[in-house]
Structure 1
Amino acid sequence: MRVALLPLVLLLGVLPQRLADEPAVAMGLWYAGPGAQPPSTATGDVEALRRDLAVVRRAGYNAVTTWVNWKEGEPTRGAYALAGTERLVAAAAEAELQVSLVVFTEPAPAWAPGVPDAAAQFFAYVSKRLSLQRGVTRVVQYSPALDRPGRIKVAPGSGPDARLAMWSAVARGERAVAFQGSDGPLSPTVLSLGETAGVITRNPSLFDPLRPRAEGVRSIAAEGGGAPVEIRLLESANALMIIGLNHSPSPRKATVSFLPDIPEAIWQNLETGTQVHFVMGKSGPVLEHAFAPRDALVLMIRKRLR
């Protein structure tokens, strides 16, 4: 009996498997090979993929968003060209990066017009085949809804705006954020944002259970004109997080009054590691903070001592 079962055991050991869990919050970038911009791909040289993806991981990211387009993925009906994407997914798994796969059904291949349900069939095939790859956490068909808020386009020198957009997305409960560099997937600006992303990727147990909290802010008073200062709260059983967002291109000094159940105790700035002190007002804790232009403030406090 053991001899008969041995081939089956060996076979099960090499079958591709989907990873059990997605990252707490997937912080990544759009990447489909050196220099590729969606919907085109460039996934040929596996060593180049490995080098690039190792850089992505070292920068502080825990995920990549890659893509397949129908025109390149099924150039002839029923003949699929997905080997390059599979090499990229395998290289990402080696680099300990999770993968979200976006399927573009435009542009269509030349044979497709007039063929009923051809786009849906292509997506179904890609989804079934690629979801078996180790490290793939989701396969989705592209729609404009994917562009906001989790897809953040990054131009050279736009790091502060991209940082603000990232924390805005997280504050609203977004579970996947991916930067797309307009001058290349591994542009200096995108890689520098990995340090900010690392606040999340280095603390998965903190960010995983956090969910938006509707109440907690009594009032916000901000000096200066422009867009209002926004305060969002996230909460779990063990932690409370405040994300302050200055959407204005001008510096703003804000005074935020909280409801009495928000702790007055010492909070931690998650990006700088410094302590932030609230003061107790007549009706609850008060925080005063001077925001730089297009700035974010991320504070956390533990609700339970360990």
Structure 2
Amino acid sequence: MSDKGRLVLLGAPLGNPGDASTRLRETLAVADIVAAEDTRRLTRLARDLGISIPGRIISYFEGNEERRTPDLVEAALGGALVALVTDAGMPSVSDPGYRLVRAALDAGVPVTVAPGPSAVTTALALSGLPTDRFCFEGFLPRTGGPRRARLRALAAEERTLVFFEAPHRVAGTLVDLAEAFGADRPAALCRELTKTYEEVRRQPLGELADWAATGGPRGEITLVVGGAPQVAATRPADADLRAAVAEREAAGTSRRDAITAVATEHGLRRRDVYAVVHPPTSP
């Protein structure tokens, strides 16, 4: 394999061409093959950036990625610089790309990234919700039953949640979210990020559902939903703590280790459990 052969994932602007990185421009100018989710959008982006793409441009989307992946890997193995770009954001994040990355890695093709915008982190930063811990769920199931089942499974998740949703399904999704998570759960609906009509609505799920029902929002939508509130653990009664320690001791655990185990299990300080097992004696 030539040293040149490799796969480069290109992070594309979400909407504003001014967000295109220098590396995206440079890679498009030297790539032997550019695989694009939508070749027309790629052509428009190149025009907006004032650049030309001398390499071969091919379409690479959900309907043909299985068929075209082997050819792209073979081209990279033969020394070609293959670039992958999707309509917006990072390839393989709810967009075509994972299949090609996995096949390239399995074949020994070097894979790298020209980082760029991401709707996930952009919406998260704009939401006003906690960003220290979050999880990305992508697109929810399209039909009501499976979607509601997925949301019920996520209702107790304490991390901030990020979803993608299609505009024609967002009203129904918000109703299901409010039912599963509670109408008061804080959320943000972000649409048309970085574009002319960018809008972020920060409201509880119930209010967002009522708003969407009056006329569904248009454009690319990212939903950010606050995590479930933490439920404070109830401290067991002293008698129950002593019984738990005694049970472990009876099973052969040393008292020291039994106290440590019971404290860890209930989220208590070891010294507090020790004080229950060894109460101070009155003078």
Higher helix share: 2
Give TM-score scaled by structure 1 length.
0.30
Higher strand share: 1
Give TM-score scaled by structure 2 length.
0.32
